[in-house]
Chains A and B, each alone.
Chain A
Amino acid sequence: MTDTTAPGGSLTAQKAAQDQRGEEAPQYFASKHEGYHWTAEAPMFLYAVWYLAFLYIPVLFLPLFSFNDSIYVAFPLKGFSLEWYGDMVSTQQLLEALANSIKVGGAVAVLSTILGLFAAKAMTRYVMPGKGAITAFIMLPLVVPGIILGISLLVITNMVGMELSLYTIGLAHTLVSVPFAMLVLISRLEGFDKNLEEASLDLGEGPFRTFFRVTLPLAWPGILASLLLTFTISFDEFILAFFLAGNEATLPVYIWSQLRFPSRLPMVLALGATILIFSFFIVTVAEVLRRRGVGPQSGSAI
């Protein structure tokens, strides 16, 4: 008896709910016509819209004007053109600067991720005196103004007689990238159980093998994130590169040098737009990889 009435009962309940919703919806629209329907969330929503617009609209001008058929960055738009993109790929200096940036960024990413991994491992796995002080010391470049850091590094490179080159830029970038790498990797290493490393030791593998068979595979998503993050930091960095560049410029330094010539501005916009798309692509790839890496492990971390 109850079995046959139960579905009927629930169906009526569903229908009633539908009816209710049906009644509610027009009311909602009606109230909108009468005037704006203020709720507690409305100011926050408005704030969020303003915030996002403020953040992204200026950025969107970059690709917009990069297709504009005029050397003046001003409305109204003249017409569609790919001229500036053509300029971009045919400018030898620009391509060299891009190559320099990629070289430095790649080296910085690898170096600072390795250093960050060791630091993160020490911070999360070992008990040692003065841990707080050491962490603070490694984090310091984050809060030292770039211009101060740039000047002091310039002084030091002169003192030790190092010639300014891509190497000096790379070292400076590593200095500011290590804290980021360390933070990313600490959160990753803290995310998995240290019993796993102990289990490996317990099963007869020494610390070295344990690092390669357990720590590294488990930290891999973090390592990837760290590589991409530190590459981006180096690729974007201007002040240190400006102070420490020798004859070879990185991309931001090259862009800066081109801003002096108004006729070059549209090409710089095209470059900026390209970098924007490229960065967006890298971040998306990194995020997809990160989620794929975390997925099955989070299920087993219970």
Chain B
Amino acid sequence: MARDDYISMRNTSKHFGSVKAVDDVTFDIGEGEFFSLLGASGCGKTTLLRMLAGFEQPTLGNIFIDGQPQAGVPPHHRPVNMVFQNYAIFPHLNVNRNIAYGMRKSGLSKAEIDRRVDEMLDLIKLPGYGARGAHQLSGGQRQRVALARALIKQPKVLLLDEPLGALDKKLREQMQLELRALQRDVGITFVFVTHDQEEAMTMSDRIAVMSLGKVLQIDSPARLYEVPQVKEVADFIGTVNLFEGAIKGREGDSTIVDAEGLGTVRSTASGAEAPEAGPITVAIRPEKFQLTFSEPETSGNMVTGTMQAAAYLGDRSHYYVTVDGREAPIAVAAQNAERQLSVLGQHHERVWLTWNDDSALLLTA
């Protein structure tokens, strides 16, 4: 039976002098979950990971792993293993000895350890690489060896500190999928630190978005994107247009908002908790707009503006539309589902934007 609170943070804080690197976070990570900590550099995600590994002690609060409090437990007694950002492959040992490094106290015979190392080499798709020196490996291979070295210990939790950051884009995308498949195979809880939101969304069951030491929201990738709870999350995950506005009233399920540049907006988006009245922020994703070059027949949300700039990106195009009453142009993204060679329109051409009632998210201002 998988536990929902396999790892628990309880009011955990880490202060470095007057800097609150991690500021009073409380959340649980489930057994077998692929959990990501996502945030810009300096948001506290690595500090949080290092506290799980035991390299840093929380200034305040507790950490539990599998129900056991971890206060005062040194790194070498914790049931977790880590893959470091730079892999930390021991340069004086070959691949075999790197992978077998943590097996000294396992009580297994030399032959059994050798067999497991070979198993690991198969798992990371580097069979026959055992005798190679650490300096003979490429970045991707080093990353795999670091992974094998941690996994051979059969930890309860594997911690990964931006392990794909040093790889080039193609290899990174390949490793993302491999890592995800591997995690499903071995069934170990992964806690993955990254600043790359696409990477986090590709791999994770759930993502914790962090900023300035605080956890802003923990949710599935889809919910983070479609139902962000706060402006910072909406802004950090993908691109979003934010409009300042004020609530005017309600009609059934809909909230009527007066938003800058958009006029009166009807929103039925659920999930985000917005106040009953007063100032509010309306968030609309670029791809939720439909852009037309002639006035569409609709009774729904619509605004007209002029084309400021357009960019053709192959699979999709980006448009920037200026509307009255708003300084920043509205970003619009459209899929190029059909082959078209001249769809971008003219500079300053008049365009119309329409969107569905449930596309306009209401967030606290």
Taking beta carbons and an 8 Å cutoff, which residues of A are in contact with B?
Answer: 192-193, 195-196, 198-206, 209, 213-214, 217-218, 296-297, 299-301
What is the minimal beta-carbon distance from A221 to any residue of chain B, in angstroms?
A: 11
Q: Are B76 and A201 in contact (CB under 8 A)?
A: yes
A301 to B137, CA, bound (A): 12
Contact with A along B237-274 (1 / 0, CB 8 A): 00000000000000000000000000000000000000
What is the minimal beta-carbon distance from A13 to any residue of chain B, in angstroms?
A: 35
Which of B85, B90, B105 touches A214 (beta carbons < 8 Å)? B90
Which of B76, B81, B86, B133 touches A193 (beta carbons < 8 Å)? B86
What is the minimal beta-carbon distance from B70 to any residue of chain A, in angstroms?
A: 14
The size bracket of the interface on B is 20 to 34
Q: Are A198 and B88 in contact (CB under 8 A)?
A: yes
Q: Are B53 and A202 in contact (CB under 8 A)?
A: yes
A165 to B80, CA, bound (A): 55
Which of B89, B150, B153 touches A300 (beta carbons < 8 Å)? B89
Contact with A along B75-87 (1 / 0, CB 8 A): 1110011101110
What is the minimal beta-carbon distance from A34 to any residue of chain B, in angstroms?
A: 54
A206/B76 contact (C-beta < 8 A), A296-B133, A296-B135, A300-B134 known: yes
Q: Are A203 and B101 in contact (CB under 8 A)?
A: yes
Q: Is B275 an interface residue (CB 8 A)?
A: no
Contact with A along B326-351 (1 / 0, CB 8 A): 00000000000000000000000000
Q: Are B133 and A196 in contact (CB under 8 A)?
A: no
Tell me the B163-204 residues at the A interface (CB within 8 Å).
Answer: none
Residues of A within 8 Å of B133, CB to CB, are 296, 300
Q: Are B76 and A300 in contact (CB under 8 A)?
A: no
Top-4 shortest CB links A-B: A203-B102, A300-B135, A199-B88, A195-B88
What is the minimal beta-carbon distance from B299 to any residue of chain A, in angstroms?
A: 61
Residues of B within 8 Å of A199, CB to CB, are 82, 84, 88, 90, 149
Q: Are A200 and B84 in contact (CB under 8 A)?
A: no
A199 to B88, CA, bound (A): 7
A137 to B74, CA, bound (A): 32
Give the A-B contact count at a CB cut-off of 8 A: 73
Q: Is B312 an interface residue (CB 8 A)?
A: no
Residues of A within 8 Å of B75, CB to CB, are 198, 201-202
Q: Is B27 an interface residue (CB 8 A)?
A: no
Given A198-B53, A204-B77, 11 other A-B residues pairs in contact with their CB atoms under 8 A: A192-B91, A198-B82, A201-B54, A201-B55, A201-B74, A202-B53, A202-B75, A203-B81, A203-B101, A204-B153, A297-B91
A218 to B88, CA, bound (A): 13
Provide a sorted-by-A list of 28 A–B residue pairs whose CB atoms are within 8 angstroms.
A192-B91, A193-B86, A193-B88, A195-B88, A198-B75, A198-B88, A199-B84, A199-B88, A199-B90, A201-B74, A202-B53, A202-B75, A202-B76, A202-B82, A203-B76, A203-B102, A203-B150, A203-B153, A204-B104, A205-B76, A206-B76, A214-B90, A217-B92, A218-B92, A297-B91, A299-B135, A300-B133, A301-B91
Q: Are A198 and B84 in contact (CB under 8 A)?
A: yes
What is the minimal beta-carbon distance from A181 to any residue of chain B, in angstroms?
A: 22
A195/B134 contact (C-beta < 8 A), A201-B76, A202-B75, A204-B153 known: no
A195/B84 contact (C-beta < 8 A), A201-B74, A214-B90, A297-B135 known: yes
A198 to B153, CA, bound (A): 16
Residues of B within 8 Å of A192, CB to CB, are 91
What is the minimal beta-carbon distance from B163 to any residue of chain A, in angstroms?
A: 12
Q: Are A200 and B135 in contact (CB under 8 A)?
A: no
Tell me the B107-135 residues at the A interface (CB within 8 Å).
Answer: 133-135
Residues of A within 8 Å of B80, CB to CB, are 202
- Nearest residue (CB) in A for B102 is A203
Residues of A within 8 Å of B74, CB to CB, are 201, 206
Q: Are B104 and A205 in contact (CB under 8 A)?
A: yes
